[in-house]
Structure 1
Amino acid sequence: MGLEHGIYCLGSNWLLSVLLFPLGIMNIVAMAGLTVVIFAERMFPRGERIAQGVGLALILYGALVIVVPAALPLVGAGM
């Protein structure tokens, strides 16, 4: 049963782990923000709507960065 549960968790959370590892190394504030968003999606009754709102906001921000590259904050780029 433990092996089955481990395989299920690996299959459902691998992308989150791949995302959080470099994000945690590069920017702890971004990792904390993502953690809060995931927590809100899981714990609040309207979690699906929160996920949709965050997804829409990220899509719009991505489109903004494509149109106006200066909208991308480059913290520490001068180092």
Structure 2
Amino acid sequence: MAFKKKFAPRRKFCRFCADKELPIDYKRADILRDFITERGKIIARRITGTCAHHQRVLTREIKRARQMALLIYTATHSSDVKKKSIL
């Protein structure tokens, strides 16, 4: 028995191709946080809908932001930092 899908999946699109004025920059951590999980992993492009070119740029900028300590590497890393700041 084949089950029929109730809803057609929404077409994913690249946010950066749609809005040419939206820069991908390591200093814009608020934008980059949309593309990483709460555990600090970069979300795949098949889930986010970004094109291949912008996914490569996005990955590079996320890694730069991590180096500059604007984004976390892992969830355990962020809890260690919180513990040290409390002490």
Who wins on radius of gyration, i.e. which is larger? 2
Higher relative helix content: 1
- TM-score of the two chains, using structure 1 as the length reference: 0.32
The higher-RCO structure (CA 8 Å, 6+ apart) is 2
- TM-score of the two chains, using structure 2 as the length reference: 0.30
